[in-house]
Amino acid sequence: MADEKETCKNPVCGCAPHDGKYCSASCEGTGDTIEIDCDCGHEECTGNF
Ligand SMILES: [Zn+2]
Ligand SMILES: [Zn+2]
């Protein structure tokens, strides 16, 4: 419970959040839209194709 890993609020993105919510402006820009891939540009991102 308390040890839940913090990840970006963009569901497809697995990066650590930069400012408590999103890892990048790209993810923040998705808002309520569900994207199928992530454009944050982080190499470690699990949603970046
Ligand atoms: Zn990402
Ligand atoms: Zn992200």
CA distances from 28 to 35, 41, 44 (A): 12, 13, 18
- The per-residue pLDDT for 10 is 87
- Whole-structure pTM value: 0.71
Distance 28 CA to ligand 2 centre (A): 8
Per-residue confidence in pLDDT tens, the chain, 49 aa: 455 678 888 888 889 997 778 899 988 886 666 667 888 999 888 877 6
Q: Which residues contact 46 (CB under 8 A, 6 or more apart)?
A: 12, 13, 14
Ligand closest to 42 (CA) is 1
Distance 15 CA to ligand 2 centre (A): 5
Distance 33 CA to ligand 1 centre (A): 14
- The per-residue pLDDT for 31 is 64
Question: By the 8 A CB rule, do 12 and 35 touch?
Answer: yes
**Which amino acid is present at 8?**
C
